[in-house]
Structure 1
Amino acid sequence: MPTITAIVVFQVLRRAGNFAIAKPIREVLFTVVPRENRYKAKNFIDTVVYLTGGQLGAWTFTGIAALGLGSTAVAVTAVPPSIAWLLISLWLGSRLEKRDDRARGGADAV
Structure 2
Amino acid sequence: VRRAGVGTTYGLMVAIIFSGIVVLGLWPVIVTLALVQILFRSGQFGTMKPCYDMLFSAVSEEQKYKSKNFIDTSVVRSAYLIGGWFFTLLKFIGLSIANITAVAAIGMLLLGYLGVDLGRRFERRGSRPTQA
Q: TM-score range by the shorter chain?
A: 0.7 to 0.9
Q: Of the two, which has the highest radius of gyration? A: 1
CA distance in 1, matches of 2:101, 2:61: 39
Residue-by-residue CA offset, 1:67-110 (whole Å, 9 max, x unaligned): 11101221222233222212212221221111129x6xxxxxxx
Structure 1 residues 88 and 34, CA gap change in structure 2 (3 angstroms): same
Aligned length: 101
97, 103, 109: which one aligns with 1:83: 109
2:99 to 73, 90, 97: 73
Alpha carbons of 1:9 and 1:54: their partners in 2 closer, same or farther (altered >3 Å)? same
Q: Which has the higher contact order (CA 8 A, sep 6+)?
A: 2
Q: Does 1:24 align with 2:54?
A: no
Q: Which has the higher helix share?
A: 1
Larger CA deviation: 24-33 vs 75-84: 75-84
| Distance in 1 (alpha carbons) for counterparts of 2:37 and 2:68 | 24
Displacement after TM superposition at 1:38 (Å): 0.4
> Partner residue of 1:100?
126
How many angstroms does 1:31 deviate by? 0.5
Match of 1:43 in 2: 69
Q: Which runs of 5+ in 2 are unaligned?
A: 1-27
* 1:8 Cα offset (Å): 1.9
Unaligned runs of 5+ in 1: 104-110
TM-score (norm 1): 0.81
Partner of 1:5: 31
Q: CA RMSD in A?
A: 1.9
**If the length of structure 2 is used for normalisation, what is the TM-score?**
0.69
SS in 2 for 1:31: helix
